[in-house]
Amino acid sequence: MEQLYAELFEAAGVGRRVGETIAGTAGQTQARWQTLWILGSGGTLTVPQVSRRLGVSRQNIQRLADQLQQEGLVALEPNPDHKTSPLLALTTEGRQALERINLAAEASHLEILEQFPASDVAALRALLRRFTAAMRTDPLS
């Protein structure tokens, strides 16, 4: 297990560095890209909902949301279910920034995928889903 985790941590680290480079093409960071991506794929969400989906602290997402709002990339909308937890929504500028990042990511992803047959990618995804499910059943998680 230690070797498996070492490989996962290394892959995650490389992925973060690549993500920073990709997000930088639109003047953003990977953390901002992830936040924009969650909002772009999930519609309007609260800060706690975004933080749970990304597995990071609410305070971290609140800081990012404040910055993204100041830059006009997200807007706050009233939340009918919770007066003090507004919904975050992408603005037109936010969608455009996300689109620029995603286009850069697509080119990077295609280049990487040229090294792997589709069956290898599908198998890896299936194994990672099984591994993630097994970790969720760990009594210490």
Instruction: Answer whether 28's CB lies under 8 Å from 97's CB.
Output: yes
The residue assigned the tokens 């995650």 is: 12
Confidence of residue 141 (pLDDT cuts 50, 70, 90): low
pTM (two decimals): 0.84
Domains and CATH numbers, the chain: 2-115 (1.10.10.10)
Cβ-count burial 96-135 (b if 16+ within 10 Å, e if not)? ebbebbbebbeeeeeeeeeeeeeeeeeeeeeeeeeeeeee
3-49 confidence digits (pLDDT tens): 999 999 999 999 999 999 999 999 999 999 999 999 999 789 999 99
Q: Name, in order, each residue with C-beta under 8 angstroms of 67's C-beta and a sequence gap of 6 or more.
A: 32
Cβ-count burial 45-74 (b if 16+ within 10 Å, e if not)? bbbebbbebbeeeeeebeebbeebbeeebb
39-86 confidence digits (pLDDT tens): 999 789 999 999 999 999 999 999 999 999 999 999 999 999 988 899
Torsion angle of the four alpha carbons 90, 95, 97, 101, in this order, in degrees rounded to the nearest 10: 110
> What percent of the chain lies above the pLDDT cut of 70?
99
1/84 Cα distance (integer angstroms)? 43
pLDDT at position 119, please?
Answer: 95
